[in-house]
Structure 1
Amino acid sequence: MLNMSSIDHLLSVARAYACAEDLDLSTVSWRALGDTKKLPAIEQGRDIQVRRLEKTMQWFSDNWPTGAVWPSSVLRPAPSKTGEAA
């Protein structure tokens, strides 16, 4: 899918994470967004603010399961460096 929207990218990553962790999308939504209904709502055509989308994609990058394959059609944000002084 060369013409995927940012929302399509988010859902692709969320579904891959759900599969890798054997979780329901609502559980993934809680982990990534603190809201069990947000990802299912987006799947049904609802929208998401750009900053929230970017923050969520960063969360997925930072919390990606070891050994899981990031969707090849989605550019992965560089994982944040944790434990370092700012």
Structure 2
Amino acid sequence: MLRMDSIDSLLRVARAYAAAEGVDLSTASWRALGDTKKLAAMEQGADIQVRRFQRTMVWFSDNWPAEAEWPEGIERPVQQVTS
């Protein structure tokens, strides 16, 4: 299993999601974080709070395109079931 820091993992997931959906990273950032610039800022070295990171990874997992593969080496959060 690949070991990466959390921000690198989140950015890999976000880029894979954006590619699978055919959208820019800013669109993926808006969908997952409600902020078009957050993922780009993280690429430039910005940080993210732990709880926000966790919520964002769960959001990507819950909204992952069915035909796309989750990035290898990154643990996928368990999908949240909503009733």
Q: TM-score, normalised by structure 2?
A: 0.96
Aligned-residue Cα RMSD (Å) equals 1.1
Q: What residue ranges of structure 2 are gaps of 5+ in the alignment?
A: none
| Matched residue, 2:46 | 46
Deviation at 1:2, TM superposition (A): 2.7
Q: What residue ranges of structure 1 are gaps of 5+ in the alignment?
A: none
Runs of 4+, deviation exceeding 4 Å: none
Percent identical pairs in the alignment equals 67
| Matched residue, 1:82 | 82
Q: Which has the larger radius of gyration?
A: 1
2-side partners of 1:22 and 1:5: how far apart? 26
The alignment of Structure 1 onto Structure 2 pairs a total of residues equal to: 83
| Matched residue, 1:64 | 64
Deviation at 1:72, TM superposition (A): 1.1
- How far does the alpha carbon of each residue in 1:40-79 deviate from its partner, in whole angstroms, 9 at most, with x for none? 0001111000100000000000000111000011000010
2-side partners of 1:2 and 1:23: how far apart? 26
